[in-house]
Amino acid sequence: MYCCRKVTDDLYWVGANDRKLPRFEGVYAVPNGMAYNSYLLLDEKTVLFDTVDAAVGERFFENVEHVLDGRSLDYVIVQHMEPDHSATLAQLIARYPEAEIVCSAKTTGLIGQFAPGLQVSAKAVKEGDTLPVGRHTLSFVAAPMVHWPEVIMTYDAADGILFSADAFGSFGALNGALFADEVDFERDWMDEARRYYTNIVGKYGPQVQSVLKKAAALDIRMICPLHGPVWRENIGLITEKYDRWSSYTPEEKGVVIAYGSVYGHTENAAEILSAMLREAGVKTAVYDVSVTPAADIIAAIFRMSHFVIASATTNNGLFVKTEDLLHDLAAHNIQNRTAAVIENGSWAPAAAKLIREQLSGCKNVQILEKSVTVKSALAPGQREELAALADAIRETI
Ligand code: FEO
């Protein structure tokens, strides 16, 4: 049975939710599920904005059929060709062969790659092109690398709606509430929106900044993303966060302490440091890299101004989970932070040097000179070393 919601008088949400998905993109746990949004506009022409992931195709097609109510589908705008939005495109064209695909020139190539042999009529559009469909005239905004190179966004000047593709989205299924103002977004969604942004789009801050500049020139009264809730009130809440995240500006002062510990001694040092910082009034968050996924720690580091990496040395190298975190952190382009290091090694501690090397490629990440070396377990007198490190961190906050 169809399950749709009205967005405006002539625009409908025809997407669907997946709460069985264990990991989005094979990597990111989605304990709250995932929404694949698609929107259908009923004007003189009918226009579908993107399709959905294959897992939710059945519900999606019921929704489209219900909203069309016997009308034909004139256009499907493919804003993003990643399969979570395009896996049902070939099926859609099979059901509605009259529909013309509207997309960027790069998307036409990707359609051929993802659906070899699919015979489609595709109209390639570029930034500034317009598509009149009746009361609404749609215009297109290039958004390369937000989050793939082919992405376009669509702006409807009639109602001030930006169809923003992946941007302004979030992990999490929509539980009947379509609009961000129907939930307590800051309490219940913001952490997942941050985790989604940092891990899916975080690498492409400059490109997001470019889109934000273009968006600032538009009269935007609603944002319809491809994941997560629709924004129609307090839009500045999410655009301000995007400005911060994409400019790699911390949201708050504080220290993320991520430790990789084999026998608990590195953990012990991390916890003592955290307690000392808390005692000095500094906010901290502590994660075990063997337990908390790197994606979650990266989101926390995007939030805070400082981070500490504490790690065991194994086989003359970095503890593997620390290495994974540092690799992902650099891959997500972390910038503008202050970092500190704690290492452990029983006979040849090497972690501090290796952590510094891994972070050396990150733009404007200042690594404090002072660090602490633990040999197996904290020795008498090392509380003072940790206190000195806590002081050095505090002085930079
Ligand atoms: Fe939601 Fe980049 O796909």
The predicted-structure confidence for 168-201, as pLDDT tens digits, reads as follows 999 999 999 999 999 999 999 999 999 999 999 9
Average pLDDT over residues 127-152: 97
Residue type, 297: I
Using CA positions, which residue lies closest to atom 1 of ligand 1? Answer: 166
Using CA positions, which residue lies closest to atom 3 of ligand 1? Answer: 82
Tell me how many degrees the CA angle 34-36-39 measures, rounded to the nearest 5: 150
Can you name the residues that pair with 162 across neighbouring β-strands? 155, 223
SS3 assignment, position 52? coil
The percentage of residues in the chain with a pLDDT greater than 70, rounded to a whole number, is 100
Q: Within 6 Å (CB) of ligand 1, which residues are found?
A: 80, 82, 84-85, 147-148, 166, 226-227
* Average pLDDT across the chain, whole number: 97
φ, ψ for residue 172, nearest 5 deg: 120, 135
- Using 50, 70 and 90 to split pLDDT, how confident is the model at 235? very high
Cα dihedral: 2, 3, 8, 9 (round 10): 40
Distance 147 CA to ligand 1 centre (A): 7
The predicted-structure confidence for 204-234, as pLDDT tens digits, reads as follows 999 999 999 999 999 999 999 999 999 999 9
Position 265 pLDDT exceeds 90: yes
Kindly give, in sequence order, each residue whose CB lies less than 8 Å from that of residue 187, ignoring residues fewer than 6 positions away.
Answer: none
Closest alpha carbon to 283 in 325, 259, 253? 253
Asked whether the CA dihedral 51, 52, 55, 59 is positive or negative, the reply is negative
Which of ligand 1's atoms lies nearest the C-alpha of 147?
2
Distance 196 CA to ligand 1 centre (A): 10
Position 123 pLDDT exceeds 90: yes
In which residue are the tokens 């294959």 written? 54
φ, ψ for residue 238, nearest 5 deg: -85, -35
> How far is C-alpha 278 from the chain's CA centre?
29
The predicted-structure confidence for 17-72, as pLDDT tens digits, reads as follows 999 999 999 999 999 999 999 999 999 999 999 999 999 999 999 999 999 999 99
Position 133 pLDDT exceeds 90: yes
Contact at 8 Å (CB) between 112 and 23? no
Residue 309: left if φ>0, alpha if ψ -120 to 50, beta else—which one? beta
Closest alpha carbon to 103 in 120, 115, 119? 120
The predicted-structure confidence for 307-320, as pLDDT tens digits, reads as follows 999 999 999 999 99
- Using 50, 70 and 90 to split pLDDT, how confident is the model at 116? confident
- Using 50, 70 and 90 to split pLDDT, how confident is the model at 118? confident
Query: How many helices (H) does the chain have, and how many strands (E)?
Result: 13, 22
Closest alpha carbon to 54 in 84, 31, 96? 84
Cα dihedral: 55, 61, 63, 69 (round 10): 180
| pLDDT of 120 | 80
- Using 50, 70 and 90 to split pLDDT, how confident is the model at 115? confident
Angstrom distance (rounded) from CA 146 to CA 165: 8
Note the residue count of the chain: 397
| pLDDT of 279 | 98
Contact at 8 Å (CB) between 157 and 139? yes
Contact at 8 Å (CB) between 30 and 23? yes
The predicted-structure confidence for 337-365, as pLDDT tens digits, reads as follows 999 999 999 999 999 999 999 999 999 99
| pLDDT of 119 | 78
Kindly give, in sequence order, each residue whose CB lies less than 8 Å from that of residue 312, ignoring residues fewer than 6 positions away.
Answer: 260, 261, 262, 266, 319, 322, 343, 344, 345, 351
Position 15 pLDDT exceeds 90: yes
Which of ligand 1's atoms lies nearest the C-alpha of 148?
2
Over its C-alpha atoms, the chain yields an Rg (Å, rounded) of 24
Distance 193 CA to ligand 1 centre (A): 13
Distance 183 CA to ligand 1 centre (A): 23
Contact at 8 Å (CB) between 189 and 171? no
- Using 50, 70 and 90 to split pLDDT, how confident is the model at 147? confident
The predicted-structure confidence for 161-176, as pLDDT tens digits, reads as follows 999 999 999 999 999 9
For the chain, how are helix, strand and coil distributed in percent, rounded to 5?
A: 35, 25, 40
Which of ligand 1's atoms lies nearest the C-alpha of 169?
1
> How far is C-alpha 71 from the chain's CA centre?
36
